[in-house]
């Protein structure tokens, strides 16, 4: 018998282990994905691209899910050549619609590390290193916003979940106070939240989920929520109001409410002050806008979305409580399998929002901040604000153009005299078709307009001026 024949036969690898084993096939998959990622991150000429119709995608991509699988090379080819070009590139300097995303190269690269490292960010026990880094960012942001030492919270998926989680904590706080005073869990007429009529739709959505009423206060000529209007609402609604939501930079105009005036009402009324700063609160990093946010330091909770103006990848929102214990009391989930966590009384991020399972989505921002330093962030935010003011002045100089409102932050809304909705739509479609820019029409008070939302540090005055030229 030969030595070869004497060797025991190795059992064949079960098919179901292919996805997790380190094999030549796996090495090829990793190399393909990392090579594509490297090219995409370092690209300087990524097109804007555009949406495709379902029929076109069916024709080009075909059926991609089968029992046998496509294989990594073909699957990546379908993504790179068909699916990715059917998605508009949100980090393009001339993506100027909605609120763009402009993640730093460091943040994008580290997002790969977060997934590759198999990190869980819901508890200190499982992810203390990640939680420590995230909490350092949250503490830094809290300090920038003037909140006291000890303020903290959690990174959640986005502003909608951030607002909902904060308002749930606010109502829980009010409910506990009523119960302690022997008044029952619910005031006559039910709970209510006060906000501007121009508050983000997520505030109304949160109220609907919570089954509470929204007292929408008109913003007046400036669109800003005034302390006088809030006082009237508080006097009329009485103990029903458990929270007031002030906006730190509205999505459509970048308007900052009278936060200082609203905050001063806490001297006379009992309510939780929540600041929805998903887009605009980042402007506090810049000396050009910091004064507009006086009063934030008195907030009970705030949110800000790093995937908007803090140069992190989608999707991440920083939810910060003045007193994190209020968030913990409202959101800690109890179950037998969770006792090992809750009994230890450690800082578990999942205790501070409605999400239990979470990835440490704040780490890409941490890595980028640690890499570049806060001063770089301040410069980038200041650039956007200064550019918005500069292009607003250019719009005012041009015959046939008019500003709808002077920019307070980095959103510039303007009109082309004589244009109707169809004119704006044709212009917008042509810009994208020519791969010149992505600027969708917006509207205010029933009038269609155009809108630049500027957050990308690579956006220039020359690019914006060239877009205006296409409206001549």
- Which pLDDT tens digit goes with each residue over 361-389? 999 999 999 999 999 999 999 999 999 99
Distance (Å, whole) CA 74 – CA 382: 44
What phi, psi does 15 have (nearest 5°)? -60, -35
Please give the helix or strand (H or E) that residue 319 lies within, else none. strand 317-321
Distance (Å, whole) CA 106 – CA 85: 24
- Which pLDDT tens digit goes with each residue over 382-431? 999 999 999 999 999 999 999 999 999 999 999 999 999 999 999 999 99
Distance (Å, whole) CA 263 – CA 55: 53
Q: What tokens does 226 get?
A: 């005034």
Q: How far is CA 295 from CA 224, 247, 257, 374, 469, in A?
A: 14, 12, 10, 23, 41
**End-to-end C-alpha distance for the chain, whole angstroms:** 90
Would you say residue 345 has pLDDT above 80?
no
237-265 mean pLDDT? 97
Non-local CB neighbours of 141 within 8 Å, separated by 6+ positions: 304, 318, 320
- Which pLDDT tens digit goes with each residue over 253-262? 999 999 999 9
Q: Is 47 within 8 Å of 95 (Cβ atoms)?
A: no
Q: Is 309 within 8 Å of 283 (Cβ atoms)?
A: yes
Q: What is the pLDDT of residue 1?
A: 43
Q: What is the pLDDT of residue 6?
A: 52
Would you say residue 334 has pLDDT above 70?
yes
Query: What distance lies between CA 257 and its chain's CA centroid?
Result: 19
With 0-12 / 13-18 / 19 or more C-beta atoms within 10 angstroms meaning exposed / middle / buried, residue 350 is: buried
Q: How far is CA 422 from CA 57, 311, 372, 429, 453, in A?
A: 27, 34, 44, 10, 21
Neighbours of 402 (CB within 10 A): 12
232-249 mean pLDDT? 98
- Which pLDDT tens digit goes with each residue over 121-132? 999 999 999 999
Q: Is 311 within 8 Å of 329 (Cβ atoms)?
A: no
Nearest to 297 by CA among 241, 233, 246, 223: 246
Q: How far is CA 276 from CA 103, 133, 246, 322, in A?
A: 21, 24, 6, 14
Neighbours of 42 (CB within 10 A): 9
β 411-416/301-304 pair status? unpaired
Cα 270-274-276 angle, rounded to 5 deg: 160
The DSSP letter of residue 268 is T
Q: What is the pLDDT of residue 15?
A: 78
- Which pLDDT tens digit goes with each residue over 173-230? 999 999 999 999 999 999 999 999 999 999 999 999 999 999 999 987 888 999 999 9
pLDDT band at 105 (very low <50, low <70, confident <90, very high): very high
Q: What is the mean pLDDT of the chain?
A: 95
Q: What is the pLDDT of residue 75?
A: 97
Q: What is the pLDDT of residue 323?
A: 98
With 0-12 / 13-18 / 19 or more C-beta atoms within 10 angstroms meaning exposed / middle / buried, residue 122 is: buried
Matching residue, tokens 């508080």: 234
Would you say residue 316 has pLDDT above 60?
yes
pLDDT band at 11 (very low <50, low <70, confident <90, very high): low
Lowest mean pLDDT among 18-22, 286-290, 467-471: 18-22
Q: What is the pLDDT of residue 4?
A: 47
Lowest mean pLDDT among 5-14, 135-144, 149-158: 5-14
The DSSP letter of residue 444 is E
Share of the chain above pLDDT 90, in %: 91
Share of the chain above pLDDT 70, in %: 97
């Amino acid at each position: 018998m030969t030595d070869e024949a004497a060797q025991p036969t190795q059992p064949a690898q079960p098919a179901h282990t292919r996805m997790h084993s380190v094999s030549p096939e796996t090495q090829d998959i990793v190399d393909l994905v990392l090579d594509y990622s490297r090219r995409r991150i370092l690209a300087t000429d990524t097109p804007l691209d555009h949406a495709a119709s379902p029929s076109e995608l069916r024709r080009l991509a075909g059926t991609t899910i089968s029992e046998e699988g496509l294989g990594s090379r073909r699957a990546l080819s379908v993504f790179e050549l068909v699916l990715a070009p059917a998605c508009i590139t949100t980090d393009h300097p001339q993506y100027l619609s909605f609120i763009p995303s402009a993640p730093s190269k460091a943040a994008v690269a580290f997002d790969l590390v977060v997934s590759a490292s198999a990190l869980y960010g819901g508890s200190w026990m499982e992810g203390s290193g990640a939680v420590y880094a995230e909490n350092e960012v949250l503490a830094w942001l809290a300090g920038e916003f003037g909140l006291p030492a000890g303020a903290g919270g959690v990174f959640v998926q986005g502003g909608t979940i951030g607002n909902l989680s904060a308002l749930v904590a606010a109502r829980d706080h009010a409910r506990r106070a009523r119960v302690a005073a022997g008044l029952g869990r619910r005031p006559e007429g039910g709970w209510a939240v006060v906000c501007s009529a121009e508050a983000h739709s997520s505030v109304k959505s949160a109220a609907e989920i919570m089954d509470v009423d929204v007292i929408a206060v008109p913003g007046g000529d400036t669109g800003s929520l005034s302390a006088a209007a809030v006082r009237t609402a508080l006097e009329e609604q009485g103990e029903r109001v458990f929270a007031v939501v002030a906006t730190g930079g509205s999505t459509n105009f970048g308007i900052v409410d009278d936060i200082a005036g609203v905050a001063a009402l806490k001297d006379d009324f009992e309510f939780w002050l929540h600041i929805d700063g998903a887009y605009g609160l980042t402007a506090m990093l810049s000396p050009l806008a910091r004064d507009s946010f006086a009063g934030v330091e008195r907030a009970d909770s705030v949110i800000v979305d790093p995937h908007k103006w803090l140069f992190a990848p989608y999707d991440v929102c920083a939810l910060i409580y003045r007193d994190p214990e209020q968030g913990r009391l409202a959101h800690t989930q109890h179950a037998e399998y969770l006792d090992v966590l809750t009994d230890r009384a450690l800082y578990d991020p999942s205790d501070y929002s409605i999400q239990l399972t979470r990835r440490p989505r704040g780490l890409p921002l941490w890595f980028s901040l640690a890499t570049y330093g806060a001063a770089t962030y301040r410069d980038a935010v200041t650039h956007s604000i200064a550019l918005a003011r500069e292009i607003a002045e250019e719009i005012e100089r041009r015959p046939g153009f008019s500003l709808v409102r002077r920019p307070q932050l980095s959103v510039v809304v303007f009109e082309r005299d004589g244009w109707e909705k169809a004119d704006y739509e044709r212009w917008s479609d042509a810009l994208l078709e020519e791969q010149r820019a992505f600027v969708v029409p917006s509207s205010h008070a029933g009038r269609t307009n155009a809108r630049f939302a500027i957050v990308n540090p690579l956006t220039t005055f020359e690019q914006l001026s060239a877009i205006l030229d296409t409206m001549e």
